[in-house]
Structure 1
Amino acid sequence: MIVGLGCLGMVVLLVLLGALGAVVGSDSKTSAGKVEPSAPATKADRATTAEETSDAPKAEGAKTEEAEDDRKKDTKKGAEKDAKKDVVTFKVWGTAPAGVLGPLDITYGSDSDTRKGTWKDGKFTATLPLDSDALYFTVMAQLQGEGDINCSVTVEGHTEKAHASGGYNICHAQANAGLLGGWD
């Protein structure tokens, strides 16, 4: 029986210690079911909050300005692309020293309009108005003994390129009108 009271006493003691521990170890903000007011915010907390709220409109304003700049750039690029669609660009570049027959022999144009080009300072560039009835646009450059050249023709954003090296080889790039529109 003493052992029984001892065990019962231990159980009672543990329950009391547990209850006491719960009361002592509880959240300091609560006492008897009431919530204590929290500590006032520090200056750093208030400064961070003020910065966050004051930056929000600035960030939105900056985003608006960036979006406007992007729209202007896109409009400008679109206008440049439209302008490039109205012309055909012919180019030849590289190294091509003059041979016995002179500098590069360059011809360019369409199936209905052939022109002679002039090689100057290692390059040639020309543009012609886009003829929607043309079957093809072409550029040819023949070396006069030696050299290494590239050539290209660009129609409505589509570019055809070619290369020639040494001897009297010919660089020939040609863009053909597609059967269903566009350029091949």
Structure 2
Amino acid sequence: MSQQQYPPQQPGWGGPQQPFGQPPFAPPPKKGGAGKVIGLGCLGLVGLFVLIALVGAVVGGGSGSSDPKDTSKSVDDTKAGGSVAQKGKEDSDKKADKKVVVFKVWGTAPAGALGPLNITYGSDSDNRDGTFKDGEFKATLPLDDDALYFNVTAQLQGSGDIHCSVTVGGKTKKGHAAGDYNICSAQVSAGLLDGWN
């Protein structure tokens, strides 16, 4: 048997060890912290300006002028056809409409054994019965911001042709039913991010 030859040992490999407590290599020189401080300072200033701009946009909110001498809006309104008073009334009506829910059913519905239509309207937590008279039904309820949806259903009693709608905050959904005991249904649901849809 022949003995296997090993390469000669390198210094430091199993040879004499360095005394305890001394690092095998010199530590790298410490860098100054000035670069980090300047970098964070610049980032902080940029962040401060962004924050100020956001606060200004939120607080400023409207783009209209609050100067009582500014008549440009009233001149433009009268040119568009109508007085400023009429435009103000229409705006207030639109704001009022956003605080109520409007339910409608219209069309032809001959009376069956239970009457012309079986109408139910309301929200996910409040249902009511409606009465169909002279070819139409209309009801309003206050807008409940906690409601998940508002709906109206109208079931024919043997024949007819009807339409139905629900309007919430300017959004309207419609439905249609014709003949037999079919049901007209319309529903507006609360959206997660974008209001009623």
TM-score when scaled to structure 1?
A: 0.63
Correspondence list, 1:100-139, <5 A: 100-139=113-152
* CA pair 158-98 structure 1, distance change in 2 beyond 3 A: same
- In terms of Rg, which structure is larger? 1
Q: Counterpart of 1:80? A: 93
Q: Identity over aligned residues, as a percent?
A: 64
Describe the shift of the 1:66–1:98 C-alpha distance in structure 2 as closer, same or farther (beyond 3 A). same
Describe the SS at the equivalent of 1:83: helix
For these two proteins, the number of residue pairs brought into alignment is: 122
2:146 counterpart letter in structure 1: D
Deviation at 1:138, TM superposition (A): 0.1
User: What's the CA shift for 1:103?
Assistant: 1.9
> Is the alpha carbon distance of 1:65 and 1:147 closer, same or farther for their aligned partners in structure 2, counting shifts above 3 Å?
closer
CA 1:169–1:65 in structure 2 vs 1: closer, same or farther (change >3 Å)? closer
Hey, which of these two has a bigger chunk of helix by percent?
1
TM-score (norm 2): 0.59
State the Cα RMSD in Å: 1.9
**Structure 1 range deviating more: 71-80 or 121-130:** 71-80
Q: Does 1:183 align with 2:196?
A: yes
Listed as ranges, the gaps of 5+ residues in structure 1 are 1-62
Inter-partner Cα distance in structure 1 for 2:106 and 2:131: 12
The SS at the match of 1:179 is coil
For 1:167 and 1:66, how far apart are their aligned partners in 2?
Answer: 52
